Structure 1
Amino acid sequence: MTHWRRWMAGLMLGLGLLLGGPLAMLAGPQVELEGNWATSDRSSAGLAPDPAAMREAVVQVYAARAFGWRGAFGAHTWLAVKPPGAQRYRVLQVTGWRRPTVSVRAGVPDRAWYGSLPALIADYRGAQAAALIPAIEAAVERYPFRDRYRVWPGPNSNTFVAWVIRQVPGLEVALPATAIGKDYLVSGWLARTPSDSGYQFSFHGLLGATLAAVEGIEVNLLGLTLGVDVARPALKLPGIGRVGLARPIAGAGPVGEDG
């Protein structure tokens, strides 16, 4: 009986650690449960340079809370590219409501994701960005799950962004802890982290661990991330995300928050 009680206490503690954050997000104002896809905010957040005024190449990566109750658990991520001299951005992302799942369209790169304002997590410009764009677009064409999408534990939009980042030398971006699906590896159980500063192990996105200079120490349980950033002290909590010092934006951008 004593062992059974200890096992139950441990189980309840574990569930509390995993679900406490998402439950707190559901109870707070950050997640809009009554939202409507058709009427949700899709305006620009003002984070991307005006392509008409910026002749240099631009590569950016964004993250925003997922729509509705899913936002209590995780974020949606996407990429945007603008070649030198181009007058429009191309937005590269995966969505679950169309086939193929990969979308490459001209559009506003920093639009709110159906009511949720995005955070800029990578910002490459100039010659560095121009060198990255062909490799990014080639990787997008090779993405192996073009006809497959699964919200949990992947492959999903975050699986796509993490995979593309790993395929492009010089594109080194640590995705937010709330990007559920980022740890779903396309092949094998071991890979370099998206920041290219360490390694991660993952069993189908359900169980894994990460050790890297940028990502820090992360444990993935059922797709949710618990972790600690040692270099820039912060905790990473399921649903809540990063709590502590902000992490610099990858590339040449200013310092921003991690979701």
Structure 2
Amino acid sequence: MRIARHFLLLFSLVFLLPVASHAAWWYWQPSAQDWRYADWSSAKLLPAAAIEPEATVHVFAARVGRWRGVFAHHSWLVVKERGASAYTRFDVVGWGTPVRVNHREADGRWFGNVPELVTELRGEAAERIIPRIRDAVKSYAYVQPGSYTAWPGPNSNSFVQHVLAEVPELSQALPPTAIGKDFRDAGFFAGLTPSRTGIQASLFGLAGFTLGWVEGVEVNLLGLVAGLDIRQPALKLPGWGRVGI
């Protein structure tokens, strides 16, 4: 009984309290109540492709809409070959055919929420990996209508995590609030992290542990992640996400 009480106390402090506090903060944030009235326009984070001659790769993430924004981000990838006149955006959505190309503006708001830049590569480094990113997009397994599942996955974050695993040179972890990034359809998984810099164990993405230089320390319970960022010191809090430098 004492162990159970200690576990419940720890779970409440580490998981439930951050989520509850973020829910209270989120309640007061302006938000469109319907996707038809939300702002999906460019957030002006990227220069016009025509004036950006070098190859670029970007990973973005933005809070999802309505009450789900308490918990989760939606992530996507953007690539541009050297000399290309337009960016190409890849992401997964929950209706119709999941994998979409240029579904929205490359740096567009998601349900009115301004995206954050997760990582980027430019120049020759980007040019080398863009073909592999395109191959990774094609190799994503969940492409049939109806294969999308918001929780625990596969979803938009499962898709981006798949690409990051196929192209570990991107060397970046998704936000801890990218629910679905740890989804594993095979059940129990134990092996290297997507960045190949540590180890990870996961049970359908519903429970797991990660320890890696890029991913940091993460404990996953029911898709909520708590932990530490080692490389760039910060806390990882359920609901709030990464809190630090």
8 Å Cα contact 1:185/1:191 also seen in 2: no
State the one-letter code of the partner of 1:59: V
- What is the DSSP-based 3-state SS (H/G/I as helix, E as strand, rest coil) of the residue aligned with 2:34? coil
State the one-letter code of the partner of 1:48: L
Deviation track 1:193-222 (CA, whole Å, cap 9, x = no partner) reads 233321211110011000011221110111
Q: Residue 233 of structure 1 corresponds to which residue in structure 2? A: 233
Q: Residue 120 of structure 2 corresponds to which residue in structure 1? A: 123
Deviation track 1:73-117 (CA, whole Å, cap 9, x = no partner) reads 01000001111111111110011112x211112752111101110
8 Å Cα contact 2:78/2:87 also seen in 1: yes
Q: Using the TM superposition, give the Cα deviation of residue 67 of structure 1 relative to its aligned residue in structure 2, in angstroms.
A: 1.1
Q: Using the TM superposition, give the Cα deviation of residue 61 of structure 1 relative to its aligned residue in structure 2, in angstroms.
A: 0.1
State the one-letter code of the partner of 1:185: R
8 Å Cα contact 2:23/2:239 also seen in 1: no
Q: Using the TM superposition, give the Cα deviation of residue 43 of structure 1 relative to its aligned residue in structure 2, in angstroms.
A: 2.1
State the one-letter code of the partner of 1:237: L
Equivalenced residue count is 241
Q: Does 2:4 match 1:7?
A: yes
8 Å Cα contact 1:173/1:194 also seen in 2: no
Q: Residue 23 of structure 1 corresponds to which residue in structure 2? A: 20
Q: Using the TM superposition, give the Cα deviation of residue 49 of structure 1 relative to its aligned residue in structure 2, in angstroms.
A: 2.5
Q: Residue 47 of structure 2 corresponds to which residue in structure 1? A: 49
8 Å Cα contact 1:62/1:118 also seen in 2: yes
Q: Using the TM superposition, give the Cα deviation of residue 16 of structure 1 relative to its aligned residue in structure 2, in angstroms.
A: 4.8
Inter-CA distance 77–106: structure 2 relative to 1 (3 Å threshold): closer
8 Å Cα contact 2:79/2:87 also seen in 1: yes
Q: Residue 78 of structure 1 corresponds to which residue in structure 2? A: 76
Specify every segment of 5 or more residues in structure 1 that has no aligned partner in the other structure, as ranges. 246-259
8 Å Cα contact 1:202/1:208 also seen in 2: yes
Using the aligned pairs only, state the percent identity: 45
RMSD of aligned alpha carbons: 2.0
8 Å Cα contact 2:172/2:215 also seen in 1: no
8 Å Cα contact 1:82/1:88 also seen in 2: yes
TM-score (norm 2): 0.90
Structure with bigger helix share is: 2
Q: Using the TM superposition, give the Cα deviation of residue 234 of structure 1 relative to its aligned residue in structure 2, in angstroms.
A: 1.4
Q: Residue 192 of structure 2 corresponds to which residue in structure 1? A: 192
Deviation track 1:142-174 (CA, whole Å, cap 9, x = no partner) reads 101112111111111101100111112422221
Inter-CA distance 185–49: structure 2 relative to 1 (3 Å threshold): farther
- What is the DSSP-based 3-state SS (H/G/I as helix, E as strand, rest coil) of the residue aligned with 2:102? strand
State the one-letter code of the partner of 2:99: V
8 Å Cα contact 1:154/1:181 also seen in 2: yes
8 Å Cα contact 1:31/1:72 also seen in 2: no
- What is the DSSP-based 3-state SS (H/G/I as helix, E as strand, rest coil) of the residue aligned with 2:60? strand
Inter-CA distance 93–31: structure 2 relative to 1 (3 Å threshold): farther
Aligned mates of 1:164, 1:31 — CA distance in 2: 32
TM-score (norm 1): 0.86
Aligned mates of 2:224, 2:95 — CA distance in 1: 23
Specify every segment of 5 or more residues in structure 2 that has no aligned partner in the other structure, as ranges. none
Greater CA drift, 101-110 or 230-239: 101-110
Q: Using the TM superposition, give the Cα deviation of residue 48 of structure 1 relative to its aligned residue in structure 2, in angstroms.
A: 1.5
Aligned mates of 1:169, 1:229 — CA distance in 2: 18
1:95-174 alignment to 2 at 5 Å?
95-98=93-96, 100-105=97-102, 108-147=105-144, 148-174=147-173
State the one-letter code of the partner of 1:154: G
- What is the DSSP-based 3-state SS (H/G/I as helix, E as strand, rest coil) of the residue aligned with 1:189? strand
Q: Name which of 53, 61, 64 aligns with 1:63.
A: 61
Q: Does 2:168 match 1:182?
A: no
Q: Using the TM superposition, give the Cα deviation of residue 53 of structure 1 relative to its aligned residue in structure 2, in angstroms.
A: 0.3
